[in-house]
Amino acid sequence: MLKKRISFFFIILISLLPAVNLYAAREQEISKTFEAKKTVRITTVCGDGIIRPGQSNRIEVHLVYSFSPHDAYEPFFRDKGNNLHLGEEIDGSTSGRATWTLTVPPETKIDFSSASGDFEATSLTGRVIVETASGDITLSDYNGELRVESASGDIRLNNCRGTFKIETASGDIEALNTFIDQAGFFESASGDVYVQLAESAEFDLNLSSAAGRATLDYNGNPVRGHFEFVTLYRHGRISSPFAFDLEEEFERYRQNYIRKSLTLGSNTPEIIIETGVGKAILEK
């Protein structure tokens, strides 16, 4: 009886194999080349974006993807004038992954948005705008205007210079060896914010974390300007290697806050480090 049952289930399994193979994820690749564009927009559901600088006046696009069922995923490539729009459409319930790898002229403007895809770029000089729901964002050796926003992803910057507006709800922000060329803004609701300067700040900066640590590290560079530290009264903490000139209590949104301030050498730039129940930190 046991042998008969084993044989029966084996026969059923064999009969189902064609159906299993029909819906199995198969890796597919697409490569396309376009003339250089002023702006490249990438809109993905779950696909990752990787951007690299190229030496030619062309844009190379390489897409690798696998989904189950395989026909639920549909990439698109829309070339219109000075703009190239790349993206993906997903029909129904599916599982899989996709990676868009682009080689572009360094000055190309990049606009990337994704629900769960990660973003990575290096050695670009054009404006970069990135929005993700849960994807992580990594940029290195960048020089330009940078605007990054994520709901829960982590944001990592290394050796970047320019105009910064960096926001995440529950992720961490880490900016190493940072050059500030215009006013900068770094904010996380519940994650940590850490900004390490490559040179003394000459422009206004705002670091904020509602529940985490907000740290500005001068990395041995001269510390000068007007500094304000803000935290919830009796909840957050403030740390500075310099004595404060003024300490005061004030009300905001019907809650009591503490503000401590100091001025070193000059009233500019204005540096604000804020936290709610975390810690606001200045490091030499």
CATH number at residue 64: 2.160.20.120
* pLDDT, position 3: 46
Is residue 164 assigned to a domain?
A: no
For residue 114, what are the domain limits?
Answer: 25-133
Is residue 60 assigned to a domain?
A: yes
Is residue 244 assigned to a domain?
A: no
Is residue 53 assigned to a domain?
A: yes
Is residue 72 assigned to a domain?
A: yes
Asked if residue 69 has a cis previous peptide bond (ω within 30° of 0), the answer is yes
> In total, how many domains does the chain have?
1
Distance CA 144, CA 188 (A): 22
Exposed/middle/buried for 255, CB within 10 Å: 0-12, 13-18, 19+? exposed
Q: Nearest-CA neighbor of 163 among 140, 178, 144, 142?
A: 144
Is residue 221 assigned to a domain?
A: no
Summarize pLDDT for 101-144 with one digit per residue, the tens: 999 999 999 999 999 999 999 999 999 999 999 999 999 999 99
Tokens 């060896």 appear where?
177
For the chain, list residues with pLDDT below 50. 2-24
Is residue 5 assigned to a domain?
A: no
* pLDDT, position 25: 66
Is residue 171 assigned to a domain?
A: no
Distance CA 176, CA 194 (A): 8
> What predicted TM-score, i.e. pTM, was given to this entire model?
0.89
